[in-house]
Structure 1
């Protein structure tokens, strides 16, 4: 779902809760008690939402139960104009059921919140997303883009490369492991000239590999500095292994959070490669420019559109199709969220009926929130009537 931070705020429990690349433990019954449960008096209805309800809808991994708009927590309070930016982005590549609505979506970008809400009630039907066992409770995590200093050429402490896809990519599957990439002369030769940029800290590089994208503040050869994005281009097709789990299994730490891993590295610098090589997965990147317009959005998600901080989520597309507007309700010790979001991305750990990864943006504050966020969740898919 999903970085400068390893300077270092807690990004997530790397043992299994890193949003994009590991698998969080399945919530037990009762764990999701913090997810908001609206209390709607009998007979209450949102103005205009009085017709008969349609039948439930079935998705490959979920069932959708039609409900009244009054069931959605905070629907009357959300700053919908913030979500409209994400929706307009989604209309660049709309899912077929929403194509006919995109003209209205663009037109309503300058409408009042009341007009936007009235249009949603008239044109969309909310469906509570449930697992096949009837559970509507799920799990919310978060991801973000790191912002890291880099250099275009190695030297002056910048010695860790971020590579483009090798020219021979695809000729060998799986490609070489992380350790082989770092040590074998023939692999180094295959990657010669393929470095996008060089970082000073191998752990910063590890964070980029885990999240899959990031922003680099690059010092060019002429001394100028510019901001670019490195986006996911592919992997070596090796299995992902958590470095935090490796530390725990080796009995080397009891704290597998990012700060705990950083502390272990500081105390054991001679074992950094051993730690990194415990995860054979390696990620290759592509460079993307960041102009003034791009800088306000995140990388492109699985839907093929740029992500909007605070309004884009990664989902299991077999539960919620890409491009679907979704009402998200989650409350816990870190944050309370009742808001309109767009399903615009996915991740290898984002599996199940009621599961979402919340894109928080980029930089330190976004990373701190992404690192803490793991709490109960309820989702409502908003589908054209």
Structure 2
């Protein structure tokens, strides 16, 4: 029987009910959301989500998210090569994250600067299964654009709730070509974090005996290509990344987190005319406002462009009917693939459950837009999600 997202969500609910209850603390409440940047093409490669930079704790996170990607067919030319790019789909993902300090398996180990070595080290395993399909969100997004008076990115000129994912050379090799619903099993990410330093008496009460006010950690992330490129499970290659994370309690009710990282992508497997840049970077800040048993979390995350636009030019090779205009820059996939992308996320956490909403909004030149000083990549246009976290 072919897996489907409703069945996977039912399994998520059963898992949450079956796990033994464990009392969380205020540090869990103030943790960052720990989300990556979704997007049909970008999520095929290694992404490095932010985390609390203080001493690691064991836990299991299960997350469901819905992301709506949109673009009109877009063509890029470099010399005699012509590539078509289109990302039009809804993706529903279920992500499992298991985090454990090394001391759980190896004991405390030798003492380093007053703390056991294996209490400083933790590893998180991330794995995702995604349903790529037409979904239900196109009509809702178009209604919102019309109600708020926003630009509709030419969505009304194409069928709603359809699947059109294309990346490949026109008349040649197709890297991605998805026209119908597909469930894909993703690559495996292994994230190892090392606590470099921490200290200070905590300002936020109720965090346990080992709590500190601040922490600084280093990260090494690796991605193993267990997913298939042909069904949007992964890029088909190994990726690696390093990062620096910091956490600081500003007050007894406000906690700040930050992260800067660099990733090395191996590119698409096989001979592809359009390959991503090998080096990428990410910068992110997260603020958690504690209001009794509830936390409001706001995050801003910027990632570098996936492809180098130095050798490529946006073109329109298709003949146009009388009075017809080519797709606008805003409706194309150009910003999603050849420009940096910034996302703003707001989350509400209550106990072990978290809900969030994300929107892409990137300051930068937009000469053809209504607002000239920022642009949208629409990769994804919007994202919503629900997460469950269980201390172990």
Task: Give yes or no for TM over 0.5.
Answer: no
Provide the TM-score with structure 2 as the length reference.
Answer: 0.22
Greater share of strand: 2
Q: Which has the higher contact order (CA 8 A, sep 6+)?
A: 1
Provide the TM-score with structure 1 as the length reference.
Answer: 0.22
Greater share of helix: 1
